[in-house]
Amino acid sequence: MMTDVGISGGMLLKRMGTPAEVAAFFTLIDRNKAKSSDGALSLVTDRLFRRTVPSEQYDRLVEQLAESRRILGNIRTSSDFWSEFHLGDRAVGIDRSAMNAADACQSIFDALDRAISFARQDKEDLGYFRPLRLMAWEGPKSYEHKYMPLEDLEKPDIRPIWME
């Protein structure tokens, strides 16, 4: 069984949801990215999804997450809306009773906001930033992901490590 997905930011590893829920979150944003101001939301759909987000891009990431939240807020949901994502019975990161996709993904957005806040606090407390990255939330994979060299996450064809 795959472990849940977490976001590592600073000294924090915050649980986001099951792999299926996190994949659904990114799929919804990717499908609707054309509605964004840049038509790409690449810090969300590429950097955050499969790589790392360096500190110099945090402000832009926050903007793109806000724009993603706005876009998802216009997507109405119902109980059968989520069936294509095969989320399973366990709900951690997506509230399937919510009336729109942004509200449904609120706990994922909250986890991301908190991780960015902790990463910024690191700069104040320690004098340096650690890049944000998605990873296994617990177990041996979490340890492996935490100590994976950052350059390994920059390979052009990398599959998101949290989907392993």
User: What's the Cα-to-Cα distance from 143 to each of 1, 65, 136, rounded to whole Å?
Assistant: 16, 27, 8
Render pLDDT for 25-38 as a digit per residue (tens, 0 to 9).
999 999 999 999 99
Helix (H) or strand (E) holding 115: helix 106-126
Number of H helices, E strands in the chain: 7, 4
Give the mean pLDDT of 75-81. Answer: 92
Render pLDDT for 86-144 as a digit per residue (tens, 0 to 9).
998 888 999 999 999 999 999 999 999 999 999 998 878 888 778 899 988 888 888 88
pLDDT of residue 153: 83
pLDDT exceeds 90 at position 162 = no
- The values of phi and psi at residue 52, to 5°, are -130, 160
List the domain boundaries for the chain: 5-163
